[in-house]
């Protein structure tokens, strides 16, 4: 019990000086690297920049206690920040104390939901976000996030959480851009894009891969330093360049969030979607990294840990957090061995907040906007779009719906539409099952689709393989298929339903089987079953269907064929293609 | 095209005098038998009794034109009447003109929806109402309908569309019952219940089965005649017995229903549910009867025909209609051969309305209530509840949810909860698929679950049969299953995924297969596929997965076994049970 909910008791006893030094090193790197990002995502969420620092303290400590991934780093994350802003925008005015309080309430609700889902082991909920929907969501919100920062980048005021609102804002106000802001913004953007691609060049100049990797990842901190110096030196603030400004030099105030019932009921759905999206991101990241080091994570405990982190965020005047891709990659590459590295990084951020914030007073918002825009490039997945189109039009439809609706109506609607459409298409597919008449591959005990293979068959025996579990949505369809087949074949005396692909027969399908059995009996045709799976047979025995069955239950299609084909001549194929590698 | 939408052109050309006489006879019987029912269901819907007569004219003519069932009889139906009352009760005051107009609007909306569903061939929607949900719905609404009539039966005023409201009303008002009303009501109830069971006795007295059948079905009309006479003779109306009263001696006024946008938006959801429930009832009835006479119906055209009937109901100041079980059984038993019988019955009802309504002026409402209560007995399906419990706890859960929520919150909520829960449970089941390690049944080419059979296996080869289509909801689950299996078996060199039960591999599952392939490769284990179905293989070829696959694709498990087991000694079982009839 203790081990389940507090994985720290597993690794803490064997914690030694060597691990400590590795974790400490990683923490120093993470602290330096993620500060610009933390400030930027707080702004993206519509919150004061300092909230990003607060979100990088207590939540990290909570994850150290509860997390099962050795290297996952939690903190503010772009999509979650965007969803936070979208959830709060209609309810409270941006920039007010009430807005910050509502963000804490949102984190609290999300934390409670995640914890409950963890306790009740509902991690499988995340499985209902299909890969195409997640990929579509990441791409679309990447675009939304990038567009949302164009205002900050150019020094114009625009807002909106749909692409249409954003583009309309841009079209209306683009002439108002502030020259020094735009120069700093576009300059930072160009610099960051160059740094991202600088790796090969640096290595060609003789640097090791590790060093060049760190330098490219240090892009944001370098851009922050240079642009801050420029603003300070040339007093650009007086020329209209927005800066981070005064940051209170204190630790986050601890307080319970607001429990206003009206606020809570409005935020329930956004909190649920933020939890789900955050969990998916976090757990797939953690799984990927655990696989690299042959470690294991527990998705249900990850839910609990993320819940704990969000509650920690809520009581420290902060915002919803989750496992963050960029933070985690830096942490992993810097050699973090245990979740303790997260707590050390939290300590680092606290020290920065207490002693170094005057240094970032002149940090221009436009540079932060540039760093957000660059970070969205990793979200875009154009290749995935093309691959999915080629592989499955249905999956592509769900992906496209997610993208289009995220653009038109925001992330929440996009996710819900994507999940809804994925489920609807799956149900539709299973409601019209593929079925195949099979015949014997000559000289073997194998039976294959008569339309794909050259097979033997007998006019009085129909071997029908149903390629789907039988349940209410396709029960009537099965009836239609069987009746149509019987109507076409007057010589038929035996219908064998082959159950090798039938994993479930529910009560509605049982009714249909009973109807088929009775109706075939009226036409002097016997119904047989073959290759019924163990669990399905166990369930059929709970009904009296097998007592009424006019035919028999055969272990294999071959047994059925041997027993039933006796009655008439077998039609052997004269010619045909050689069997291919499929059935 | 014409044949699809107007099936009448199929049977009308061969219509002869013999068919005419059979249809006419059936129409006379139906007219007489269904008048009490038509009046009663109008009252159940909260409408003037005459509305039931109106609903038995034009809608029947429309079905003659558009219907594909030779014997289905449309008209008012108990559950649809109850749903009509529930839909309208909160919106307009019962007994007003606005209420009647809203009923016509509801019929119109339902008609348009049914027609559109027919045109777009959406008949398969009905498949999502599973058998347990329909059975639960029928039982629960049977109880609701019966309880709703207790007030009319005893002469007390009570209302409500949930069992709780109804029982509360009964508990508050039962002392106010009117003695003559209760005597007539309970007397009619006792008489009707006796008549329903009189068949065997009548046959024992020497009657033919047909004649005794008609006498038992004539119970309501006999009860109506006797009780009307009693009220008239003893002037019971003056003693508080409610009667049908004055019925205008004219045909239904033709008028377009109200198109008030506020009303329409409120009625959209109820109209959809009424359409769905009505269609399910109607089409399953039509299918059952068509099977008896080896005829075929077209579910999509039935949607269109029911839509036409409801639009006919709407423009003739009437109420939503559907295929009615009791009418249809009478029609079928009386020997109707074509849908023309319906039009003749419509003519009969029109003549009754014009010339015979004075006769039913003194018909007591309590007798109609008794006939409604008796008709609900056919809806109760206690045996189905028990059978479903035995067969499948999941189906039973959906059934129970439908029943309980229909009692607590009415038919609409009950249906939606039942459908929602059925789908959720199906998705949950498929998200945690059964999978089995299989081994060779000694001396054969067959492979069965190692836990159920005595089989041969090789330590370096794992043959894993996955018993479910692979899609987003279970893709990660598959990964976990394979990784756990590999972790347990250090000697493993080959994993063969057997796809005989895999009917679909979606884009998310493809990602998982690619991840499994790469991860097994890291551990020097090869991934193979066997028995991949044709359509699945066609789709896999659209991706580059097969190029990266570390192992091979085998036609059958046996081929895979023969090719891979070479490498090490086969473990032959020493002892075990004989194979049973399952796998």
**If you write DSSP's letter for every residue of B461-508 in order, what string do you get?**
EEEEEE-S-B-HHHHHHHHHHHHHHHHH-TT--EEEEE-TT---B-HH
Distance from CA of A408 to the nearest CA of B (A): 24
Closest by Cβ to A556, choosing from B394, B446, B519:
B446
Tell the burial category of B67 from Cβ atoms under 10 Å away from its Cβ (0-12, 13-18, 19+). Answer: buried
In chain B, the residue whose alpha carbon lies closest to the alpha carbon of A468 is: B503
Q: What is the DSSP string of A351-410?
A: HHHHHTGGGGTT-BHHHHHHHHHHHHGGG--HHHHHHHHHH-HHHHHHHHHHHHHHHHH-
Q: Is A472 in Cβ contact with B130 (below 8 Å)?
A: yes
Q: What is the per-residue pLDDT for A583?
A: 44
The Cβ of residue A200 has, within 10 Å, a number of other Cβ atoms equal to 10
Are B139 and B379 in contact by the 8 Å Cβ rule? The answer is yes
The count of residues in chain A is: 583
Q: Which of A124, A388, A444 sits opposite B507 (nearest CB)?
A: A388
What's the confidence (pLDDT) of residue B294? 64
Binary contact (A472, B127; C-beta < 8 A): yes
| Alpha-carbon distance B128 to nearest alpha carbon in chain A (angstroms) | 5
| Contact assessment for residue B118 and residue B275, using Cβ atoms and an 8 Å cutoff | no
Residues in chain B: 583
DSSP state of B565: G
Q: Give the integer Cα–Cα distance in Å for A519 and A478.
A: 13
Does the beta-carbon distance from A445 to B449 stay under 8 Å?
no
Q: Give B430's contacts in chain A (Cβ within 8 Å).
A: 469, 504
CB pairs under 8 A between A and B: 201
Instruction: Residue A503: list chain B partners with CB under 8 A.
Output: 433-434, 467-468, 501
Give residue-wise pLDDT tens across range A488-540: 888 889 999 999 889 899 998 998 899 899 888 988 899 999 999 888 999 99
A227/A188 Cα distance (integer angstroms) = 8
Q: What's the pLDDT score for residue B578?
A: 44
pLDDT of residue B552: 93
Q: Classify B453 in phi/psi space as left (phi over 0), alpha (psi -120 to 50) or beta.
A: beta
- List of chain B residues whose C-beta atoms are within 8 Å of the C-beta of residue A445: 444-446
Q: Tell me the C-alpha distance between B572 and B458, whole Å.
A: 9
Q: Which residue is associated with the tokens 């290297």?
A: A71
B321: phi then psi, degrees, rounded to nearest 5 = -125, 165
pLDDT in tens, A554-567: 988 999 998 888 76
Calculate mean pLDDT across residues A185-192.
Answer: 94
- Chain A residue at shortest CA distance from B385: A507
Chain B hits for A469, Cβ within 8 Å: 430, 468-469
Pairwise CB contact (< 8 Å): A131 & B508: yes
> What was the pLDDT predicted at B291?
66
List the domain boundaries for chain A: 18-421, 435-567
Composition of chain B by helix, strand, coil, percent to 5:
65, 5, 30
* Contact between A391 and B502 using a beta-carbon 8 Å cutoff: no
Chain A residue with the nearest C-alpha to that of B422? A472
The pair of structure tokens assigned to A309 is: 């982190």
* pLDDT tens digits along A396-445: 999 999 999 999 888 888 888 998 999 999 988 888 888 889 999 888 88
Identify the residue among B389, B391, B437, B513 best suited for mutation to test binding to A, counting A beta carbons within 10 A and taking the highest: B391
pLDDT digits (tens, 9 = 90+) for B274-318: 998 899 888 877 877 776 666 677 888 999 999 999 999 999 999
Q: What is the mean pLDDT of residues A342-366?
A: 91
- The parts of chain B modelled with pLDDT lower than 70 are 1, 291-295, 567-583
| CB-based contact A537 B581, cutoff 8 Å | yes
Binary contact (A129, B429; C-beta < 8 A):
no
Could you tell me the sign of the dihedral formed by the alpha carbons of A435, A440, A442, A443, in that order?
Answer: positive
For residues B423 and B426, give the distance between their C-alpha atoms in angstroms, rounded to a whole number. Answer: 5
Q: What is the DSSP string of B45-79?
A: TTS-THHHHHTTSHHHHHHHHH---SS--EE--HH
- CB contact under 8 Å between A507 and B131, yes or no, is yes
Contact (CB<8Å) A543/B390: yes
Taken in order B50, B52, B56, B58, is the CA torsion positive or negative? Answer: positive
Mutate to test the interface with B, among A283, A302, A508 (most CBs of B within 10 A): A508
Top residue of B472, B499, B543, B548 to mutate, by most chain A CBs within 10 Å, is B472
* Closest residue to A445, CB basis, from B429, B445, B534: B445
Q: Do B507 and A392 touch (CB under 8 A)?
A: yes
CA distance A533 to chain B (A): 5
Q: What is the pLDDT of residue B526?
A: 94
User: Is pLDDT larger for residue A279 or for residue A126?
Assistant: A279
Q: How far is A213 from chain B (nearest CA, A)?
A: 25
- Nearest CB to B476 within list A127, A132, A475: A127
Residue A62 has a pLDDT of 94
* pLDDT higher than 90, residue A126: no
Q: Which of A392, A430, A582 sits opposite B534 (nearest CB)?
A: A582
Fold type of domain B435-567? Transcription Regulator spoIIAA (3.30.750)
**Minimal Cα distance from A503: which residue of B?**
B467
Write the ipTM: 0.79
Determine the pLDDT at residue B62. Answer: 94
H/E element, B13? none
Which helix (DSSP H) or strand (DSSP E) does residue B87 occupy?
helix B78-89
**Proportion of chain A in helix, strand, coil states, percent, rounded to 5:** 65, 5, 30
CB contact under 8 A, A132 and B507: yes
Smallest Cβ–Cβ distance between B391 and the set A427, A472, A510 belongs to: A510
A501/B501 touch (CB, cutoff 8 Å), yes or no = yes
Q: How many helices (H) and strands (E) does chain A have?
A: 27, 8
Confidence band, pLDDT 50/70/90 cuts, at residue A111: very high
For residue A45, give the nearest of A75, A76, A24, A16 by alpha carbon.
Answer: A76
Q: In B, which residues are within 8 Å of A511 by CB distance? A: 131
Q: Is B438 helix (H, G, I), strand (E, B) or coil?
A: strand
For tokens 């207490």, name the residue: A354
In chain A, pLDDT over 90 holds for what percent of residues?
Answer: 34
- pLDDT bin (cut points 50, 70, 90) of residue A568 is low
Band (A575; pLDDT cuts 50, 70, 90) = very low
Strand, helix or coil for residue B81: helix
What pTM does this model have? 0.80
C-alpha distance from A228 to closest chain B C-alpha (Å): 44
What tens digit of pLDDT does each residue of A36-84 get? 889 889 988 999 989 999 999 999 999 999 988 888 899 998 889 999 9
Distance in angstroms (rounded) separating the CA atoms of residues A575 and A571: 12
End-to-end, the C-alpha distance of chain B in Å comes to 48
Question: Do the Cβ atoms of B501 and A503 come within 8 Å?
Answer: yes
Q: A128 and B427: CB-CB below 8 Å?
A: yes
Out of A434, A446, A474, closest to residue B127 by CB: A474
Query: In B, which residues are within 8 Å of A506 by CB distance?
Result: 130, 392, 394-395, 426
């Amino acid at each position: 019990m203790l081990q389940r909910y507090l994985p720290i008791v597993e690794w803490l006893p064997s914690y030694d000086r060597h691990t400590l030094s590795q974790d400490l090193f990683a923490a120093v790197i993470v602290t330096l690297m993620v500060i610009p990002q933390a400030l930027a995502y707080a702004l993206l969420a519509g919150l004061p920049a300092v909230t990003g620092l607060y979100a990088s303290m207590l939540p990290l400590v909570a994850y150290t206690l509860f997390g099962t991934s050795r290297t996952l780093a939690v903190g503010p994350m772009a999509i979650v920040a965007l969803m936070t802003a979208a959830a709060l925008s209609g309810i409270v005015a941006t920039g007010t104390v009430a807005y910050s309080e509502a963000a804490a309430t949102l984190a609290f609700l999300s934390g409670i939901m995640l914890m409950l889902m963890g306790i009740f082991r509902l991690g499988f909920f995340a499985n209902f976000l299909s890969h195409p929907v997640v990929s579509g969501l990441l791409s679309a919100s990447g675009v939304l996030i990038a567009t949302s920062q164009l205002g900050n980048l150019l020094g114009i005021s625009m807002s909106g959480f749909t692409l249409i609102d954003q583009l309309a804002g841009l079209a209306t106000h683009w002439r108002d851009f502030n020259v020094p802001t735009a120069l700093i913004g576009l300059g930072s953007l160009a610099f960051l894009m160059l740094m991202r691609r600088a790796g090969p060049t640096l290595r060609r100049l003789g640097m090791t891969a590790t060093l060049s990797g760190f330098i490219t990842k240090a892009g944001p901190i370098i851009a922050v330093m240079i642009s801050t110096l420029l603003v300070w030196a040339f007093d650009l603030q007086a020329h209209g360049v927005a800066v981070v400004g005064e940051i209170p030099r204190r630790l986050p105030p601890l307080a319970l969030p607001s429990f206003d019932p009206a606020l809570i009921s409005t935020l329930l759905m956004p909190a649920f979607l933020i939890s789900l999206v955050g969990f998916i991101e976090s757990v797939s990241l953690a799984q990927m990294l655990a696989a690299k080091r042959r470690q294991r994570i527990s998705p249900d405990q990850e839910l609990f840990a993320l819940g704990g982190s969000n509650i920690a965020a809520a009581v420290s005047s902060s915002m919803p957090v989750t496992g963050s891709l960029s933070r985690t990659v830096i942490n992993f590459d810097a050699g973090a061995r245990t979740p303790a590295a997260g707590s050390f990084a939290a300590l680092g951020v606290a020290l920065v907040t207490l002693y170094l914030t005057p240094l970032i007073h002149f940090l221009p918002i436009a540079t932060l906007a540039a760093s957000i825009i660059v970070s969205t490039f990793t979200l875009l997945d154009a290749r995935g779009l093309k691959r999915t189109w080629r592989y499955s039009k249905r999956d592509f439809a769900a992906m496209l719906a997610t993208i289009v609706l995220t653009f038109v109506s925001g992330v929440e609607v996009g996710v819900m539409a994507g999940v809804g459409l994925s489920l609807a298409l799956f149900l539709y597919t299973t409601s019209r099952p593929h079925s195949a008449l099979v015949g014997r591959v000559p000289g073997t005990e194998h039976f294959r689709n008569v339309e794909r293979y050259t097979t033997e068959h007998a006019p009085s025996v129909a071997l029908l393989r149903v390629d789907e579990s039988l349940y209410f949505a396709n029960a009537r369809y099965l009836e239609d298929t069987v009746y149509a087949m019987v109507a076409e074949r007057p010589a038929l005396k035996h219908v064998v339903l082959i159950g090798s692909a039938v994993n479930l027969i529910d009560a509605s399908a049982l009714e249909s089987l009973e109807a088929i059995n009775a109706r075939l009996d009226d036409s002097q045709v016997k119904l047989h079953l073959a290759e019924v799976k163990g669990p399905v047979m166990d369930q059929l025995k709970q009904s009296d269907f097998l007592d009424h069955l006019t035919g028999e239950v055969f272990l294999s299609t071959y047994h059925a064929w041997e027993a039933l084909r006796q009655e008439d001549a077998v039609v052997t194929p004269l010619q045909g293609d050689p069997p291919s590698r499929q059935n």
